[in-house]
Amino acid sequence: MADTILIAHATMTNSLSASTEGLTIVDRARKRYGWTKTSTACWWEDAHTSRATLRRFWRGERIQKDAFISICQAVGISDWQAIAQFPESLNPNVPELQSPLIDWDEAPDLDHFYGRIQSLNQLEEWITKDNCKLVAIVGMGGIGKTALTVALCDRIQSDFDCLLWRSLTYQPSLLTLLDSILNTFEPTVIQDIHSGIRQLRHYLQQRRCLLVLDGFDSVLHQKDNIEDYSKLWQTLSRKRHQSCILITSREQLPGFDAIAANSKGVRCFRLQGLEQADAMALLQTGGFTGQEQGLSALCQLYRGNPLALKTIIPLIQSIFAGNVTAFRLQNTIVIGDRLQALLTQQFDRLSESERSIAYWLAIWQEPITLCRLQSHLLYASDPSVILTGIAALETRSLLEKRFSADTPSFTLQPMVMKVATDRLIEQAVREINQVIQSDDISHLHILRTHWLMRPGTDDIAGDRLIFQLREQLFHVYGDSFSQTLLQILFRLQDCSPQVVGYARCNLTALLQEF
C-alpha cells in the first residue's frame, strides 16, 4: 500500500527527495564502487546531471525526478522508490531548510578513492567529536593528501553550516586569501591583515565552518607569508570558535608543534602510503587482474604512493604488455613528470645541511645508523646539526626510519632516493665543469664533502654512483674525459687535507677504468 501511494505521488510531482534510510542504502552502494559522495565526477556524469544536484540529493533536498532516478541507477540501484521520501513528508507547505554555504572553489574531482578508512575515521573523530580547531594533514608529494581531504569533507560536510575550499598552489598572500574567504560570506573590504583575521574569527564564531587550505607548503618558503600565516594559526587556535581549519602540506608548518603543545584543539595527521590491499585495488583499475607476479613488490617499491602507482600503470601496460616482473627486472624506479616535479621542488628547498644528509643516505642506499652517518661527515662536528637535519627530513616525510636492537637507522623513501641521486650527479658534473672553466678548485663541493664509493654488499654495488657519474662525464667530455680529471687531480696536489676532503678519492675512482 505504501509503495502504491509513493508511486502515485511521484507521478504527481516532478521532484523527489531521498529519505534517511534511502541515503543509507545509496551510501553503501557508492562505497562498493569506490566513489565519494559528491566528488567523483563519473557519478554525476553517468547520471547526466551536475555536482550541485548530487550535493542537493545528499542533503535530502528535492531534485528533478529524472536526475533522482539516474543518480540511483548510476550506483546500481534500480528500485529508486525504496530511496525516495514518503509523500506525506513532502508537504509543499513545509519550508525547506536554508541551504548551507558550500564553496568547493578549485577542489579536484576524484575518479576513485580506495581505503584510508582508519585515516578517515581518525580525522572525523578529531573534527566532529573532539571539535579540533586546526588540523594539518602532512605527507610527501603524491601520497594522497588532497584526495583524502576531499573524501573527508565529502563525508562530514553535513556537520557544518559552511564548507570553504581554497587552494594555495598559486601562493596567495594572507591578505589575498582573507579577501577571497570573507567575500564568500558577504561583500567585504579588508583594511589590513589584523582586521581581516578579526573578521574571519567573527564568521567562524557565528557559524560552524569547515575551512580547507590545500597545498599550504606552496607558501612556506616566503618569509612574509610564513610570519603572516603564523599569526593566523596562533589567533584561530587560541580564540573560542566552533569551526575547523583543515590544512594539507608536504611539510610541517613552522611553529605548529609549539601551537599544538599549548592547545588540545590542534592536531597533525601524518599520511602514509596505501595499505597493500588498497594499493592492489588501485592497480586493478589500470587493467591488472591482481594475480600478476610482482604486484606486491611493485606496491612496496613505491611505498603505496597513489600518484606513483597511477603513473607507472600505463608504462608497464604499454612497454611491458602488463608484465610486472619484466619491469622489475630493469632494476630501476620510474617517476612520472608530475611527481618528479613535486619531489624535486621539495628537495631543492632543503637547507645545505639537510641536503648533505640526504646525499649520504642516497650514497648508502641502505638504512644507516646515526653514529655511522656522523663518522662520514667531514665538516659537521656539532651533533645537533645532524639531529636537527634528520628531524627536518622526517617532518618533510622524506625519511624512513628502521629499528634494530632499539637502535634507529635512517634511509630515504625510494622515490626520494631517486631524486637525491639525480641531483647529486647533476651537481657533481656541474662542479667539475666550473673547475675546468674557472681553473678554481674552490668550486668542488659535493665531490669534496661526500665519498661516492661506499662499501659494496651482496645486493648493492658500491660503485653505482661512480659508474653513473663516469657515464655523465664521458658524455660531456668524450675522449678528453681522463685528461680533464687528471688536471683537477694535479691542482689538488698541494692542497691541505681539509681542502681536498673526499675529492681525490672520488676522482681516482672515476679514473680507474681509464
Express each pLDDT in 275-302 by its tens digit. Answer: 998 999 888 888 888 888 888 888 888 8
For residue 100, count CB atoms less than 10 angstroms from its CB and return exposed for 0-12, middle for 13-18, buried for 19 or more. Answer: middle
For residue 277, count CB atoms less than 10 angstroms from its CB and return exposed for 0-12, middle for 13-18, buried for 19 or more. Answer: exposed
Measured from the Cβ of residue 319, the count of other Cβ atoms closer than 10 Å reads 13
At residue 122, the pLDDT reads 96
How far apart are alpha carbons 247 and 187 in whole angstroms?
Answer: 25
Phi first, then psi, for residue 402 (nearest 5°) are -120, 155
Q: Cell triple for residue 402?
A: 628502521
Specify the DSSP class assigned to residue 88.
Answer: G
> CA torsion 155→159→160→166, rounded to 10°?
-20
At residue 337, the pLDDT reads 83
At residue 462, the pLDDT reads 67
DSSP run (H or E) holding 400: strand 399-404
How far apart are alpha carbons 103 and 105 in whole angstroms?
Answer: 5
| Long-range contact set of residues 6-10: C-beta below 8 Å, sequence gap at least 24 | 6/81, 6/84, 6/86, 6/87, 7/81, 8/87, 9/87, 9/90, 10/65, 10/81, 10/84, 10/87
For residue 511, count CB atoms less than 10 angstroms from its CB and return exposed for 0-12, middle for 13-18, buried for 19 or more. Answer: middle
Q: Cell triple for residue 352?
A: 645545505
In contact, 282 and 112? CB cutoff 8 Å: yes
In contact, 258 and 126? CB cutoff 8 Å: no
**DSSP characters over 55-68:** HHHHTT--EEHHHH
How far apart are alpha carbons 53 and 62 in whole angstroms?
Answer: 9
Which parts of the chain register pLDDT below 70? 1-13, 86-99, 378-381, 455-462, 513-514
Q: Cell triple for residue 334?
A: 620510474
Which residues fall within 8 angstroms of residue 510, CB to CB, at 6 or more apart? 466, 469, 470, 473, 485
Sign of the Cα pseudo-torsion (309, 312, 313, 316, in order): negative
At residue 225, the pLDDT reads 75
At residue 71, the pLDDT reads 93
The distance in angstroms from the start CA to the end CA of the chain is 93
